[in-house]
Amino acid sequence: MCGVFGVFNNTSASHMTFLGLHALQHRGQESAGIAVSDGYDINLKLGEGLVTKVFKEKDLNELKGDIAIGHVRYSTAGGSDPKNIQPLFAHFYGGSFAIAHNGNLTNATEIREQLEKEGAIFRSTADTEVFIHLIAKEKEPPPSHIMLHKNDRDFLPLIFGAMKKVRGAYSLVILREKQLIAIRDPFGFRPLVLGKNRSGSFFIASETCALDIVDAEYLRDIKPGEVLVIDDAGLRSYFPLSYPEEPKKCIFEFVYFARPDSLIFQDWVYEIRKEMGRTLAREYKVDADCVVPVLDSGLLAAKGYSEESGIPLEIGLIRNHYVGRSFIQPKQEIRDLSVRLKLNPVRQVVEGKRIVVIDDSLVRGTTSKKIVNMLRKAGAKEIHFLLSSPPVISPCYYGIDTPTKEELIAANKTIEEIREYIGADSLYYLSLEGMIEAANKHRQKGFCTACFTGDYPVL
C-alpha cells in the first residue's frame, strides 16, 4: 500500500507535494520521496521514514520546479529495502522520467526474469521498476484507434505498450520534464483523483484528503484504464486498453485503508464505513452496556453500530498517537511491542460492563487478542468482539500488505477457534453480502473482495 501525489503548474511544487504526502502518510510510513522538474531537469530527494523526517525546508527549497510527483511507501512487493524508495528515476533514449506507483503488479516477477535474461540490469527489487524497462524497450506502434496529440507521440506509445504487458494493480504518476501523467489500471483497484486549485494548478492524489490540504477542488476520479496527460497544451485522456465492464475497486480501502475524510471511488469513506457498522448492528444484536471502538480504525463502524442499536458509544480504549500503526512495521517482534504501546483501556468505562468492541478487521489476531486481554484486566464483564468486515482468508496481490495465508488466522481456524484464541465471549464478522451492500448503498459497484473470498480478478 502506498500513496502517490502529483502537481502541475505550481511554483511551490515541492512544498505542495510535501503537504500532499503528509496527508497521505497513513498509506505508508516506511519511506517518502519527491521528484521535481524545472522543465529541463528532474531532481529527486528520497529518504526512509515519515515525510516530516525526510524533508526539511532546505530540501524543499532545493527541489526547484513547477511540476512534481511524490510517494509514500509501505512495502509490499520488493520488501523494505532503501533501494526501493520511490519515485524511481530513469534516463533513456527518449529523455528522463520519474515514476511513483501505488498497487502491485501480479506478473512483475515473470517480466523481470525475462528482461534479466535479455540483459537488463535492475537496481531495485520493486515491481515498479519493470515499468521503466518496459517503457524503455517498447517498440510496438500505438493502437490504430488512438489519435495522439503531437506532444504525446514519442512517449505515450511506450506507456501504452507497457500497460499491455503488465497485469495487476497500478495507480501511477509519471513526471517528465514538461508533463505530468496519471494512470490507473483497467480494473481501477486503487483510487486516484484529479483536482485543481484557484490559480490553475492541477493535482493528482491517491485520496481527496491530499487535495484538501493544498486547497484544491476535486474534479473527478482518474478512470479505470485511463492515461491522463497534463502539460502546457492542456489535459488529454487516452484509453489504450480494452477494459472490463465492471471495475474491481478494492473494498478494503473502504473498510480500513483510506482516510475517513476522503472521497475515493466517488464516494465518502466516512459514510460507507459507518454504514458497515449499521449493517453489523442489524446482523448481530448484543445485549450490552456500551460500544467501544478500537481507535482509530474501528471508530466509524462503532458509531454506526451504536446509532443503529441504540447502545451508547464509549471511548473505552485510548490510543496513543505517538506510535505508528501496529501492522505497518514489517517485523513481528516490533509489531508485538507496538500493539501494547498503542492502546490502553479506560477502567472507569469498562469495569463491570458488558461491552461490544468494534474493529474494522481481524488479520493475524494479534491485536484483538491483546485488546481482549487488556479489557479483561481492566474489569470488563463481557467482551463481544465484532468486525466490520468478513474474515480475511486470502492474501492481497494488489497492494495491501496482508500476510501469507499461513499467518491469516481466519484461513486456518474456525470462527469458534478464533473466538477462543482471542479470548472474547462472542465473536462476529460482518457478512460479505452485508459489507458489499453497505458499500453499494451509495451506488458503488464492482469491488475486488479477493482478501475475503479468494476470488482474484487477475493473476
Q: Which residues are the active-site residues?
A: 2
Instruction: Using the minimum distance from each CB to ligand AMP, give the nearer residue, 213 or 400.
Output: 400
Residues in touch with ligand AMP (CB under 6 A): 256, 294, 297, 325, 327-328, 359-368, 400-402
d(CA 7, CA 36): 9
Task: Give Cβ neighbours of residue 315 (< 8 Å, ≥ 6 apart).
Answer: 292, 293, 295, 346, 349
- Taking CA atoms, 331 is separated from 26, 140, 283, 409, in Å, by 18, 43, 36, 17
Instruction: Using the minimum distance from each CB to ligand AMP, give the nearer residue, 115 or 328.
Output: 328
d(CA 271, CA 254): 10
Q: CB–CB of 196/7 below 8 Å?
A: no
CB of 151 to ligand AMP, least distance (A): 39
Instruction: Using the minimum distance from each CB to ligand AMP, give the nearer residue, 289 or 360.
Output: 360
CB of 257 to ligand AMP, least distance (A): 7
CB of 373 to ligand AMP, least distance (A): 12
| Residue 417: other Cβ atoms inside 10 A | 13
Nearest to 13 by CA among 54, 45, 49, 47: 45
Instruction: Using the minimum distance from each CB to ligand AMP, give the nearer residue, 128 or 297.
Output: 297
Q: Is the dihedral of CA 11, 35, 183, 457 positive or negative?
A: negative
HSE-up (13 A, CA, CB side) for residue 395: 14
Q: CB–CB of 244/187 below 8 Å?
A: yes
CB of 327 to ligand AMP, least distance (A): 3
Residue 76 C-alpha cell reads as 509490499
Is residue 233 classed as helix, strand or coil in its secondary structure? coil
Instruction: Using the minimum distance from each CB to ligand AMP, give the nearer residue, 18 or 447.
Output: 447
d(CA 108, CA 132): 12
Residue 114 C-alpha cell reads as 525475462
CB of 319 to ligand AMP, least distance (A): 11
